[in-house]
Amino acid sequence: MAGITRRTLIGAAATASLLPRRARAASFAYKFANNAPVDHPLNLRAREAAKQIEQESNGRLAIEIFPDSQLGGDTDVLSQLRSGGVEFFTLSGLILATLVPLASINGVGFAFRGYDQVWAAMDGELGAFVRTAIAKAGLVAFERIWDNGYRQITSSTHPITAPGDLKGFKIRVPVSPLWTSMFKAFGASPASINFNEVYSALQTGVVEGEENPLTLIALAKLYEVQKYCSLTGHMWDGFWLLANPAAWDALPKDLQEIAARHWNAAALAERRDIAQLTAGVEGDLRRKGMIFNAPDADAFRATLKNAGFYAEWRGRYGAEAWALLEKYAGGLA
C-alpha cells in the first residue's frame, strides 16, 4: 500500500463500515515533487493537470505538488521516489542516468539541431528505447517528456566566446556523469551540485558559472548572480515524469488511465509554454543587465570530437542506442 497516506487509511477505515460495499472505493493522496520554480510552466501545467485528475476521478486521486525542490535536491528525491516516499517526480534524464545510464542520451553535446529533431526523437523510437530502460530499472515513465530546454552558459567572470574560454572555468553542473564528462572534455572544472543549491553556489563564488535554459535563468533569478549569458545551446534537456511503481500499480485501471492522459496532455501544453516564454525571455534578461553573445557551435562540436567525447559515449550507450540518436540528430562521431 505504498503511497497511501496515513490520513487516507484512517479516513477510509472510519467510513468503510458505513458505506455499502460497492461504494468503498479506495482513495489515494499522492505527492508530486519537482525542482522548478512555482511559476515555471512545468508547475503551472502540473497544477492544472492535478486539478483535472482530482475532478475527473471524483476525488479518488488527489495529487499535491511540491515545487522548487521543497522535498529535497534531485538526487535525494530520486531516492524518495524509489522508496515510495514520493509518488510522482519530474527529473532530467541526465540526472536519472545516475540510475539508468541510457537516460542521458538526449543530452549528448551539440547533437539535436532543433526542436523538430528533439520531439521526433523523444516521441519516437529514441524516447521509447529510453523508457524501456527506465522500466527495466523499476520505475514508471510517462510517454511524453516535458521540456526543460536548450541549455546556455552563464558566468560571473567572462563570456564564453569559443571553446578555449571554458579552460579552467569553474562551472556548476547537475549531478550526472554526462555533464561532468562533457565539461571536462573542454578542460573546464565542473562541480556537481543539485539545482536547489545553485543560486547560493553562484552568489558565494563557489563556482563562476552554470548552464541552464533561458527560462530557468530568468525564473530562478540566476541573472541576479550572473553577468554573462553565452548562447551555446550545447544540449537539449527534458524532464521525464516518473512514478513509483508500487504506488502506480496500487491505482485501479481507470485512475491510471485518467492520470496518464492528463499528465501527457500537460507535457504537450508545457512544451508550447516553454517555446513561447523562450521567445521573449532574452530581452527580459538583457533589460536586467545580462550581456549576451552567440558563439559558433561548430567549434565546440569539433573540440568534443577531437577530445574523443563522442567515441567514448557511443561506447557507453552502445551501438544500438547511438544509431537511434543519429537517426534523428544526424551523424556525430
- Rule CB under 6 A: which residues touch ligand X2X? 35, 92, 95, 148, 174, 195, 212, 216, 237
Q: Is residue 297 within 8 Å of 233, Cβ to Cβ?
A: yes
Report the nearest approach of ligand X2X to the CB of residue 207 (Å).
12
Of 173 and 258, CB closest to ligand X2X? 173
Q: Which of 149, 181, 213, 191 is nearest to 304 (CA)?
A: 181
Tell me the three cell numbers of residue 307: 577530445
Closest CB to ligand X2X among 76 and 326? 76
* 57 versus 148: smaller Cβ distance to ligand X2X: 148
For the beta carbon of residue 236, count every other beta carbon within 10 angstroms: 25
> What are the backbone angles phi and psi of residue 205, rounded to the nearest 5°?
80, 15
Select 50 or 95, whichever has its Cβ closest to ligand X2X. Answer: 95
Q: Which helix (H) or strand (E) holds 279?
A: helix 253-287
Minimum distance from residue 73 beta carbon to ligand X2X (Å): 9
Pairing mode, if any, of strands 228-230 and 209-212?
unpaired
Q: Which is nearer to ligand X2X, 127 or 174 (CB)?
A: 174
Smallest distance, ligand X2X to C-beta of residue 92, A: 4
Report the residue number, 87 or 210, with the smaller CB distance to ligand X2X. 210
* Residues near 99 by beta carbon (within 8 Å), at least 6 away in sequence: 78, 82, 137, 139
**What is the nearest approach in angstroms of ligand X2X to the Cβ of residue 301?**
21
Rounded least distance, CB 264 to ligand X2X, Å: 20
Q: Which is nearer to ligand X2X, 61 or 214 (CB)?
A: 214
Three-state SS for 331? coil
CB 94 to ligand X2X: min, Å: 6
> The cell 516518473 sits on which residue?
242
Q: How far is the CB of 168 from ligand X2X (least distance, A)?
A: 21
Cβ-based nearer residue to ligand X2X, 165 or 237: 237
Angle CA 180–310–174, to nearest 5: 20
Angle, helices 319-329 vs 309-317, to 10°: value is: 120
Q: Which cell goes with 141? A: 515513465
**Which candidate, 243, 199, 212, places its Cα nearest to that of 80?**
243
Judging by beta carbons within 10 Å of its beta carbon (0-12, 13-18, 19+), is residue 61 exposed, middle or buried? buried
From the CB of 176, what's the least distance to ligand X2X, in Å? 8
Extract the C-alpha cell encoding 83: 522508496
CA angle 100, 101, 106 (to 5 degrees): 105
As measured in angstroms, the least distance from the Cβ of 151 to ligand X2X is 7
Return d(Cα 249, Cα 242) in angstroms, integer.
13
Smallest Cα–Cα separation from 211: which of 177, 187, 237?
Answer: 237
Q: Which is nearer to ligand X2X, 35 or 181 (CB)?
A: 35
**Residue in the block written with cell 537511434:** 324
